[in-house]
Amino acid sequence: MAAGIGQFIQTEQPNHYSDLFHCLGTAFICTLFSIQSILLNRVNLSASGNQPNTVLFDIQSAQKDKVLSLAKQNGLPVNGTVPIVNMRLESINNITAETLAKDSTIENDSSFKL
């Protein structure tokens, strides 16, 4: 009978880890609501005022005037045009891409294109 009482007392003792998990869970939910609020405020800021909701890329110099004319014909405001300059690295520390491609001591990583 003493063993039965000992088992009963053991199962009735509070589990201290449950208090810890409740606190952590509450902190996690509060963090989620805070992040949600921050993200929603940023979306509202970017959607207000004179912010663009469409961006066009890779318009060539010869196409620029036609695209601007088409936007004006459709009543779309043009907030600005910004040129993007393409560039290519010739070498790093006097080592060219061709030299790296021929070097057999370097592993060929498919995520890095020469």
Domain ranges across the chain? 16-48+59-102
Predicted local confidence at residue 67, as pLDDT: 92
Contact 78, 68 (CB under 8 A): yes
The whole-angstrom separation of Cα 15 and Cα 32 is 26
Mean pLDDT of 90-106: 81
Q: Please tell me which residue, 10 or 20, carries the higher pLDDT value.
A: 20
Predicted local confidence at residue 70, as pLDDT: 93
Mean pLDDT computed over every residue of the chain: 76
Q: How far, in whole angstroms, is CA 43 from its chain's centroid?
A: 14
pLDDT band at 78 (very low <50, low <70, confident <90, very high): confident
Q: Which tokens sit at 5?
A: 């009482």
> Would residue 18 be called left, alpha or beta, if left means φ above 0 and alpha means ψ between -120 and 50 degrees?
alpha
Predicted local confidence at residue 30, as pLDDT: 93
The DSSP line for 4-69 is HHHHHHHHHS--HHHHHHHHHHHHHHHHHHHHHHHHHHHHHHHHSSS--S-------HHHHHHHHH
Evaluate if residue 76 carries a pLDDT over 70: yes
